Amino acid sequence: MQPRLNAAFAALALFALLATPTLAQGCATGSDTFWKRDTLPVTPNGLTGVSVIQGMCEGESAGVVFEMPAGMGVQQITQVVAPWGAAGGVGGFGALLDVEVYDGVSFSGANVTMGTLVWSLSQSLSSNMQVASHALNVLDTSNYDIKVGIAPPNGSPFVRRFAICFRCDINNHPTATCATGYPANFFTDNAQAGGLTCNNVITPLQTSIMEIQGQGWRDAALATVSGFQLCPLFYKGIWCIRCCSRDAYPASYTTFGAGCAGTLPVSTLAPVSMPRIGQSFLVILNNLPANVAFLMTGWSDVNSSLGSLPYDLASLGAPGCFGRVSSDAVTLLFGSGGNALSTMTLPNYPTLLGVQFYQQAFVVDAGHNQLGAVVGNAARASIGN
């Protein structure tokens, strides 16, 4: 938006309320978290009232700030959604957008302080997102490892925030300019005409943001140009910017290598809970002939003090058995009824997120072989939220 009132704002006021069709949109994967702050349906159907904000110029940005629930783990952004509309809902007007994802956002009145720019489409891939009217345009970002939720909480309320933003690099509308306004532009969910005061329900604070030429980032509900507040005459509603995410560090525990049977079938490791920071991690060992086992926990499934892994235990008197994990820590477990329980408390250190470790049971089985022991299946653990 130019730092003065001009024809762009006059055009904006004229075409603010539109009854226009938008394409359906949701997360590609049902288990992902769907984020939106606008009031439109998740999948709009038929004519939908929106407001095209025609005063947004090339080089300026629109963004929505999302607040993460307490206890939610670090998220990976898997999809972003850019609203691009045209007066009357006319299709075919395109633009090239940059996508920017920020972790951590704080507010001071109309001023917005952006946190870390964790990803930019232009910087990361030297590319742009091609959008067209009149639609919620979708970009799959699941392969780009975009993480949010690492920045500490701030503000009032004291929460973690992240922002999905779109910068208009090129608006391909054939007749418009920044000075006259762009009939094809970002749109909000507003479907109400009139009103001389800025309604905090329609245009809530600390939700939609915009980067204005010569000013930087501003809260759209409080932003001004040449001393005039944009809301409600020149901006109203919430940007229809959306995204999807999933746990960036999902906790997991899976078998990756076979053990060997003894007097009883092969011992297995069955997780009772997943390995998560700040929580107890429980695993049940079964098929223990003597109700005794040594649980090997290590950082590697490639090398150990005995040599490269897997290590053939035939030389130690256990033919057909292979050690598959390094023994960086050894825990003696006593059980009953052929089962034993391993309990490990993982520190609440975010630096542990995504770290992998490995486990395998050394099962006492006197008389079965020369070693008097067999090994169970090996498991790989990944520490998560």
- CATH code for the domain in which residue 270 is found: 2.60.40
Specify if 2 maps to a domain.
no
Q: How many domains are contained in the chain?
A: 2
Task: State the residue range of the domain holding 127.
Answer: 7-247
339: nearest Cα among 323, 361, 359? 361
The angle subtended at Cα 43 by Cα 62 and Cα 134, nearest 5°, is 50
Specify if 128 maps to a domain.
yes
Q: Look at residue 1 in the predicted model and tell me its pLDDT.
A: 61
Q: Which residues of 23-51 are buried (b: 16+ CB within 10 A; e: fewer)?
A: eebbbeeeebbebbbbebeeebeeebebb
149: nearest Cα among 40, 271, 249? 249
- Same domain? 163 vs 55: yes
Q: Look at residue 2 in the predicted model and tell me its pLDDT.
A: 44
Q: Look at residue 63 in the predicted model and tell me its pLDDT.
A: 98
**How far apart are the C-alpha atoms of 161 and 106, rounded to whole Å?**
8
- Same domain? 308 vs 338: yes
Mean pLDDT by 10 residues, the chain (385 residues): 36 37 67 95 85 95 96 93 91 96 97 98 97 94 96 87 98 90 94 86 97 96 94 95 95 96 97 94 97 97 93 96 96 97 93 95 96 97 93
- Same domain? 221 vs 186: yes
- Same domain? 125 vs 223: yes
Q: Look at residue 328 in the predicted model and tell me its pLDDT.
A: 95
DSSP β-bridge partners for residue 311: 323
Q: Look at residue 17 in the predicted model and tell me its pLDDT.
A: 38
User: For 158, how many CA atoms within 13 A lie in the half-sphere containing its CB?
Assistant: 2
Specify if 1 maps to a domain.
no
Q: Look at residue 193 in the predicted model and tell me its pLDDT.
A: 79
Q: Look at residue 25 in the predicted model and tell me its pLDDT.
A: 61
